[in-house]
Amino acid sequence: MNVLLGILFVVLQGGTLVAADVPLIRSIRAYGGNDERRPPVLILESNNNATQPSIGDRSVTVEFDVQHPTIPNIFARVIHCTPDWQESPNGFLTDITNRTMLFDWTVAPARSRWHTYRGKISLPNPQLQVRFSGNWLLRLVDMDSEATLAETRFFAVQPMVTTRMNFFTEFYEPRARVSGAGLLLEAVAQARTAALIDGFQQTTVFYRNHRWFEPFPVSSQRLTTRLDRQISASSMGMLTAGKVSRIGPIPAENEYRILDLTNTGIFPSTGAPVRMPMSDIRRLGNFLQRADDGAMITSFVSGADDEYIPVEILLDPVPGPVDDDVFLVGSFNNWRPDRHWQMSYDEEMRLYRLRQWFRRGRHNYMYATGRLHADDGTVDDIRFEDFEGNTASAGHGFLAFVYYRVQDFGGYDGIIGVAASNIYQGGR
């Protein structure tokens, strides 16, 4: 829904009641350095002699699109979090004055209907420093109402251990009639100094690249994240010899589908919904081309065309619709489905349909099933089996973050190691 300016009414945004003239954030994402393909991993300075990780950058970029008649009066602040993304209770970590307004603003194309400005922030910057390792939320806040407009996630790593990842293939029991291809993930963290205490290395969390709302934790702590009953996790060993964290079996999933909106001839900027040329069908583990490891690629879109266009997505559920709710999930919504990305089944067309605005670029996506909660719009039990299947040939990248209970500044969960790999690089 477009923002209706000049009318006094109230909307719910970011869990807070705000006035309708508050800026509307259309999308937000974070990535490493200046490369939208890289994960948002910030490498901090370390006095330890651990091997520097191959993944990570000296800065993180946060990019967001906003609908507002003028450049909005907003600021960004960062909040340190526990490994399961709860705000850290340690008040030393999150300084409310640690905020920034050093945005790089660009104007949307004149014909744009879905957003008016794009903002970018580089972290750290002269106004906002990231001094502690761990999980971080970046929140965009309206200066006048102090309402939270949007937030995104990034990671800060202070290397203190050498970390590597291994992959194993393993079977699991899928709900749908598809291949039971799964993965067993292993992260090995080794310290070159005896100064680190084994008991303080309590948690390792795995993620698929660019899917930061789907953690797979291995932890001796009590975390809010709940794993599927088929997934088991274990940790063994000592840091000086190599501490091993394992989790699995995780569904291997299929290679991502590709929605390429860069062709303005096929997807013109008319303002009317453009229906995809052909409806998608079930794949169940078959794919023809490699995708972009879950990333949104917009770097080769010209500034004049870098806008949002309405697209109608079609899915043919042959032999018929499923009992669960169906969602479109991909790089355009940070791999996080909600009610706005739920598809409806058209009895006449015998197709699932969804009309939504997409940023022009190359997207990775899949079709998910789950259960929508009508009260808050969240989705539970998200699965990709029904329409995608599983195949151990999919080259999805995984990251493993090694957490350590740092005793300084009152104690907090910092990240001391990170590794990235996929089935082709780390399988054995």
Task: Choose one of 111, 135, 156: the last residue of a domain.
Answer: 156
- Per the domain annotation, does 22 fall within a domain? yes
What pLDDT is recorded for position 279? 96
- Per the domain annotation, does 2 fall within a domain? no
What pLDDT is recorded for position 20? 56
Task: Choose one of 129, 156, 183: the last residue of a domain.
Answer: 156
What pLDDT is recorded for position 4? 32
Contact 409, 93 (CB under 8 A): yes
What pLDDT is recorded for position 192? 78
* CATH number of the domain within which 38 lies: 2.60.40
Contact 409, 132 (CB under 8 A): yes
DSSP-derived letter for residue 290 is -
> Encoding tokens for residue 270?
């008319």
Query: Quick one: three-class SS letters along 300-344?
Result: CCCCCCCCEEEEEEEECCCCCCCCCEEEEEEHHHCCCCCHHHECE
Q: Do 167 and 194 reside in the same domain of the chain? A: yes
- Per the domain annotation, does 362 fall within a domain? yes
What pLDDT is recorded for position 228? 86
- One digit per residue, pLDDT tens: the chain, 428 residues? 333 333 333 344 444 444 458 899 999 999 999 999 999 999 998 766 667 788 999 999 999 999 999 999 999 999 999 999 999 988 888 777 789 999 999 999 999 999 999 999 999 999 999 999 999 999 999 999 999 999 999 999 999 999 999 999 999 999 888 999 999 999 999 997 778 898 999 999 999 999 999 999 999 988 888 888 889 999 999 998 899 999 999 999 999 999 999 999 999 998 899 999 899 999 988 888 999 999 999 999 999 999 999 999 999 999 889 999 999 999 999 999 999 999 999 999 999 999 999 999 999 999 999 999 888 888 999 999 999 999 999 999 999 999 999 998 889 999 999 999 999 886 55
What pLDDT is recorded for position 309? 96
What pLDDT is recorded for position 90? 86
What pLDDT is recorded for position 21? 82
Task: Choose one of 106, 136, 156: the last residue of a domain.
Answer: 156
Task: Please state the length of the chain.
Answer: 428
Q: Do 217 and 114 reside in the same domain of the chain? A: no
Q: Do 115 and 63 reside in the same domain of the chain? A: yes
- Which structural domain, as residue segments, surrounds residue 103? 10-156
Q: Do 403 and 313 reside in the same domain of the chain? A: no
Contact 155, 418 (CB under 8 A): yes
Q: How many domains does the chain have?
A: 3
- Per the domain annotation, does 203 fall within a domain? yes
Q: Do 248 and 397 reside in the same domain of the chain? A: yes
- Per the domain annotation, does 3 fall within a domain? no
Q: Burial code of 185-210, b = ≥16 C-beta within 10 A, e = fewer?
A: bbbbbbbeeeebeeebbbbbbbbbbb
Q: Do 361 and 401 reside in the same domain of the chain? A: no
Q: Do 29 and 147 reside in the same domain of the chain? A: yes
Q: Do 197 and 93 reside in the same domain of the chain? A: no
Q: Do 128 and 33 reside in the same domain of the chain? A: yes
Q: Do 301 and 402 reside in the same domain of the chain? A: no
- Per the domain annotation, does 360 fall within a domain? yes
Q: Do 360 and 402 reside in the same domain of the chain? A: no
- Per the domain annotation, does 1 fall within a domain? no
What pLDDT is recorded for position 428? 53
Q: Counting beta carbons within 10 angstroms of the beta carbon of residue 145, is it exposed (0 to 12), middle (13 to 18) or buried (19 or more)?
A: middle
What pLDDT is recorded for position 9? 33
CA–CA gap between residue 413 and residue 382 (Å, rounded): 28
Q: Which residues contact 57 (CB under 8 A, 6 or more apart)?
A: 32, 33, 35, 38, 41, 42, 43
Q: Do 141 and 28 reside in the same domain of the chain? A: yes
- Per the domain annotation, does 416 fall within a domain? yes
Q: Which residues contact 206 (CB under 8 A, 6 or more apart)?
A: 185, 187, 215, 216, 217, 218, 247, 250, 398, 399, 400, 401
